[in-house]
Amino acid sequence: MTKTEKLLRELISIPSVNPAFLPAGDPKAGERRVAECLAAVTTRVGLDVELQHVLPGRPNLLARLSPSGKTRQRILLAPHLDTVNGVEAQFTPRKSNGRIFGRGACDTKGSVAAMVSSICEIAKSGRRPAQTEIVFAGLVDEENAQRGSRALAASGLKADLAIVGEPTRAQIVTAHKGDLWLQLQTRGKSAHGARPELGRNAVHQMARVVDLLETEYAARLRRSRHKTNCWAAQPSASASSMAAPSRTLCRIAARSASIAGHCPAKPSRAFAERFSHCCGGMSFMR
C-alpha cells in the first residue's frame, strides 16, 4: 500500500461532513479532525503549519514548503476538507478494481492525499525548490458557503498558480460555472368563486414562468459555450422548488448556472427583464 493510499484511507475514515447537512451536534460534522490529522502529517516533515480560523471548530489548514532561497513565486494547492453526508458504510474505505471508494474519496480527499503526500516527499528529499514556495491550503465549507476559500482570499495570500483538486476526469480545467440563485414570486388576485374570471391565479402565472425558464431560456443558454477548457462549459437554468400557500401567492427558487463572460454585470436585472413580460404581478424576492 502506498503512502498516498494509506493517507486517503485515513482521511475517509475521519468524517468531515459539512454541518449544513447535519443536525446540530452530530459527531460527523466539521473539518477540525481532518485538519488536525493533516497538520500532524505535515509537521512531521518540517512544513510550516497554521490552522487558520474560519468558523468555530472549523479551521483552514495551511502548510508551507519554503524554497531553499528567496521566494519569488508561489504555487497554491487548494482542495477542500469537507464532504456531503453519507451512510455509515461510506466512511469505511474499500478498494475495488484498483480504486478506493468512500465518502470524499473523489471530492476531494483523494486530491488532498495526493497533494499532501507529494509535498511531504519533496520536504523529506532535502531538494526544495530554489525560489518557489508551495502552499497547501485545506479549505473548509466548500460544499455550502465557501467560507474557507473566502477567508483565505481575505487573508491577502497571493499565488502565481493555483490547483484546486476538484474531480475533472484527469482533464486540465481552467474555468468553471458560477451560480445565480433567485427567488421568484407571482401575486394573483382574489375573486368570488362564482366569478373566477375576475381573479388571477398566481400558480397559473408561475407555471408560465417555469415553462419559459425550462424551455426557451434554457435553450438560449445552451447555445453558449466557454471558449477555453471549462468544466461543465455550458450554462443552464432550472427551477428547483415551489411553494404555493394560496392561489394568490406563489414562489419558486430558480438557479441559473453561468460561464465566464456569459452573465452581464447585473445578472438579476437581466433575469428579471427576461421574465417580466411573462405575466403581470411577478416580483423578484432577491
Q: Active-site positions? A: 82, 142
Name residue 91's beta-bridge partners: none
Rg (CA), the chain: 24
Q: Which amino acid is at 150?
A: R
Strands 230-231 and 236-246: unpaired
The DSSP letter of residue 88 is: G
Q: What's the sign of the alpha-carbon dihedral 166, 164, 144, 51?
A: positive
- Parallel, antiparallel, or unpaired: how do β-strands 175-176 and 230-231 relate? parallel
Distance CA 46, CA 38 (A): 13
The H or E element containing residue 120 is helix 109-125
